[in-house]
Structure 1
Amino acid sequence: MKKLKICHLTSVHPRYDTRIFLKECSSLASAGFDVALIVADGLGDEVSKGVKILDTGTQKGLSRIKRMTQTVNSVYAKCLEIDADIYHFHDPELLRIGLKLKKLKKQVIYDVHEDVPRQILSKQWIPTHLRKSISFCFERYENHIAKKLSAVICATPFIRDRYLKINPNSIDINNYPILGEFDSSTPWCEKHDEVCYVGGITEVRGIKELVNSLSSTTAKLNLAGNFTSSLLEEEMFRHENWQKVNYHGIVSRKEVSLILAQSKIGIVTLHPIINYLDSLPIKMFEYMAAGIPIIASDFPYWHKVLEPYDCALFVDPYKPQEIAEAIDKLLDDNKTSEEMGKRAKLAANEYFSWIAEEKKLIQLYKELTNV
């Protein structure tokens, strides 16, 4: 029997993106589908984990407008070459070619990583007085196309509930961790008094308050990720507390596991901007999979998600002193912290792993292709 040909496409994300490549594409390839992934990074073609990665060329030096026109057009041309049975795209700027592919009688899936209309409301590069109107117009455009597509995959239940009103074939595929990536075997007594933050480093993700909190605690911070602003990076490098930061930069998945294994606490103190309030940051569940307790922003939705497992302390993300007090509370009571970490690990194993999400993804593909 001929393998069904699947094509994932992104004009923005890196080729080894955790959600796109490591989870979705790799899972589909393992399930027996013929999987290709179109990217635009200039690193060339290759095959990895059974996935054919096809490169349309680098975006370096391109303006945002050129990326949304020139790069997207290149991605579409590559799609036509592949002639897949199902196309699965991951960026809002690809909506227009998603509709084109659907008009060619293809099965087309839109993978919604973020609630973009709400995200637009907090975009610093968009003038404040224009954000509401741009958000409104984009939502109407997005809804118009999404309702015509074969399915919509959403990264959280909150986003899924929005899309169910538009396209009844909308499901959530949560970005939960692959459990085998994380090692929780390091004895608690061998860990140092270190906390960690792994992910994109921006002001609205709380880096300033986190570094400021180090003034009031003896803990050191293991920090991994990319500064999205060079000005912010320079400001943090000059900070008096930077000497208490072990900055690892951009790291591999293996290095993420090692950083979490040596830390006693995972930090996720995002600011309460509208698109974070109902988010499910992958770092939160990776901390749980690594068996460490969490210090999280005091969001009602996060209380609902984490409180049943008694594995987190909640703080006002704008208050460095409150963050420091939560750090010290956990570091001063190793027995309690270790027990919280064990409960976090158990919850990750039972409720928050990629295993269940993979099954949902494969089932959707089978329904779309009548396999």
Structure 2
Amino acid sequence: MKNKVVILSSGHLPKDERIFSKIGFSLNANGYAVVICTSTEELHTNQESILFDCFNGEKLTKRKKINKFYSHLSSHSPDVIISSEPLPILAAHQFKKRINPSCKIISDITEWYPENVAFKYRGLKKWISFFVLYLFNIYASNLADGLMIGEEGKRKRYDLIAPFKKKEIVSYFPRLEFFPYSSIHSIKDELNLGFTGIFNKSRGFYKILSTIETLEKKLPHVKLRLILVGKFMTRTEEELFSSWSLAHPKIEIDFSSWLPYDLLQSKLNRVELFLDLRELNFIFENSLPIKIFEYLALGKPVIYSNAASLKKFFGNISFGKLVDPTNDDEIKSAIEFYLLNPDERERQGLLGRKLVEEKYQWKFCETRLLHFLEGIKS
């Protein structure tokens, strides 16, 4: 009989790329029976031999959500539980304590928690929330048998709050079969710019728009295209972008909402230069942006905010430019450089692709994942 793994999440959609297309796929391909259970969407289906048994917990209290996760765990009786957030660990712990003491619990840590929740508030509420959730994170982390951490920069905190737990770095690198190299077919005085993710101020989306607006005025003979994949968080932001698009009819917009992981490259292979000008707050300064590895896999150069995490991880950047996201002239000059130097776009794109092939693809993460799982089970 196959060992069964149930992946829990209270914050991600069922077909989230890490949960389904990476961890779920790798475990299934290596002989595990995999069930995905999230509280973000009602979904009961089977895809690629992975079972989805998900519920919509939007209106449930935290206690009722935990009970719902526990009920699902009881029905599937897993040997291993992987939780993407601290909350479902409470349900996993109940299952282990009451039903299957030999079950192993793994916490999959990819976010700066509790900053990603507490820092949405202001003033005293922000710091009270941070303190309470930090204590909760200590408690939940120590209920797990092992911690799977998305990047080295986040490990230090967990060495402090859960010093005796087994840990492994299982990063965010892409599956190369979904991101084949896509050569750049340059046309003089044309440039296809790309951005994927959340369209809001903190992610640098409006900085991208203002930069393109400036370039349009300075270089009226240049045809600029903006290829976008992602979503707006508010109706107001969506309406602002619609108004901006109408005010700039010469800029061609190719917009798509979230796409399945295996279809993303079909939209992005036309991009010649990717932009990400996110603000340098605590979370962005100390987190690796997942999408950068997908851009490199496609063989496209990038212009990114000069976050400390990128400088520390890559050292000298050979596949693009890091810029100060508050310096309009620096951003504009970087884009103009790639516009005027198509050969350099191609050269840097190839360097990025080579890096991904040699160091930053999912198959290396899969090896770590499987080794860690076997170690936890034994």
TM-score by length of 2: 0.89
Q: Do the aligned residues in 2 keep the contact of 1:173 with 1:360 (CA within 8 Å)?
A: yes
Identify the residue that residue 320 of structure 2 maps to in structure 1.
312
User: What is the alpha-carbon root mean square deviation over aligned residues?
Assistant: 2.1
Find 1:209's aligned residue among 207, 210, 225. Answer: 207
Q: Do the aligned residues in 2 keep the contact of 1:203 with 1:232 (CA within 8 Å)?
A: no
Identify the residue that residue 295 of structure 1 maps to in structure 2.
303
Identify the residue that residue 139 of structure 2 maps to in structure 1.
144
Identify the residue that residue 267 of structure 2 maps to in structure 1.
259
Find 2:106's aligned residue among 109, 113, 118. Answer: 109
Q: Do the aligned residues in 1 keep the contact of 2:89 with 2:144 (CA within 8 Å)?
A: no
Q: Do the aligned residues in 2 keep the contact of 1:38 with 1:54 (CA within 8 Å)?
A: yes
User: What secondary structure, in the 3-state scheme, does the structure 2 residue paired with 1:116 have?
Assistant: coil
User: What secondary structure, in the 3-state scheme, does the structure 1 residue paired with 2:13 have?
Assistant: coil
Find 1:156's aligned residue among 148, 151, 155. Answer: 151
Closer, same or farther: CA 320–221 of 1 in aligned 2, 3 Å: farther
Instruction: Give the superposition deviation at 1:228.
Output: 1.2
Q: Provide the C-alpha distance between the structure 1 equivalents of 2:137 and 2:40, rounded to a whole number of angstroms.
A: 25
Tell me, yes or no, if structure 1 residue 119 matches structure 2 residue 131. no
Q: Provide the C-alpha distance between the structure 2 equivalents of 1:210 and 1:14, rounded to a whole number of angstroms.
A: 28
Instruction: Give the superposition deviation at 1:136.
Output: 1.7
Tell me, yes or no, if structure 1 residue 78 matches structure 2 residue 72. yes
Tell me, yes or no, if structure 1 residue 100 matches structure 2 residue 97. no
Query: More displaced, 169-178 or 300-309?
Result: 300-309
Instruction: Give the superposition deviation at 1:186.
Output: 3.4
Equivalent position amino acid for 1:324 in 2: K
Identify the residue that residue 132 of structure 1 maps to in structure 2.
127
User: What secondary structure, in the 3-state scheme, does the structure 1 residue paired with 2:255 have?
Assistant: strand
Q: Provide the C-alpha distance between the structure 1 equivalents of 2:63 and 2:298, rounded to a whole number of angstroms.
A: 41
Q: Provide the C-alpha distance between the structure 1 equivalents of 2:276 and 2:270, rounded to a whole number of angstroms.
A: 17
Q: Provide the C-alpha distance between the structure 1 equivalents of 2:80 and 2:50, rounded to a whole number of angstroms.
A: 15
Identify the residue that residue 229 of structure 2 maps to in structure 1.
224
Q: Provide the C-alpha distance between the structure 2 equivalents of 1:34 and 1:286, rounded to a whole number of angstroms.
A: 28
Identify the residue that residue 7 of structure 2 maps to in structure 1.
8
Query: More displaced, 335-344 or 96-105?
Result: 96-105
Closer, same or farther: CA 134–309 of 1 in aligned 2, 3 Å: same
1:116-166: per-residue Cα shift (whole Å, max 9, x none)?
Answer: 12323531xx23321122112211111122123101111111112221231
Identify the residue that residue 218 of structure 2 maps to in structure 1.
none
Identify the residue that residue 240 of structure 2 maps to in structure 1.
235
Equivalent position amino acid for 1:16 in 2: K
Q: Provide the C-alpha distance between the structure 1 equivalents of 2:206 and 2:136, rounded to a whole number of angstroms.
A: 36
1:6-45: per-residue Cα shift (whole Å, max 9, x none)?
Answer: 1111233111110001000110010001111113355432
Q: Do the aligned residues in 2 keep the contact of 1:11 with 1:75 (CA within 8 Å)?
A: no
Q: Which has the higher strand share?
A: 2
Structure 1 alignment gaps of length 5 or more: none
Closer, same or farther: CA 134–94 of 1 in aligned 2, 3 Å: same
User: What secondary structure, in the 3-state scheme, does the structure 2 residue paired with 1:225 have?
Assistant: strand
Between the aligned residues of both structures, percent identity stands at 20
Q: Provide the C-alpha distance between the structure 1 equivalents of 2:136 and 2:2, rounded to a whole number of angstroms.
A: 34
Query: More displaced, 185-194 or 68-77?
Result: 185-194
Q: Provide the C-alpha distance between the structure 2 equivalents of 1:311 and 1:324, rounded to a whole number of angstroms.
A: 18
Find 1:184's aligned residue among 181, 185, 188. Answer: 181
Equivalent position amino acid for 2:296 in 1: M
Q: Do the aligned residues in 2 keep the contact of 1:117 with 1:138 (CA within 8 Å)?
A: yes
Identify the residue that residue 47 of structure 2 maps to in structure 1.
48
Closer, same or farther: CA 280–242 of 1 in aligned 2, 3 Å: farther
User: What secondary structure, in the 3-state scheme, does the structure 2 residue paired with 1:295 have?
Assistant: strand
User: What secondary structure, in the 3-state scheme, does the structure 1 residue paired with 2:282 have?
Assistant: coil
Q: Provide the C-alpha distance between the structure 1 equivalents of 2:158 and 2:25, rounded to a whole number of angstroms.
A: 26
Q: How many residues align?
A: 362
Closer, same or farther: CA 323–98 of 1 in aligned 2, 3 Å: farther
Instruction: Give the superposition deviation at 1:187.
Output: 4.4
Instruction: Give the superposition deviation at 1:69.
Output: 3.5
Instruction: Give the superposition deviation at 1:363.
Output: 0.7
Q: Do the aligned residues in 2 keep the contact of 1:269 with 1:296 (CA within 8 Å)?
A: yes
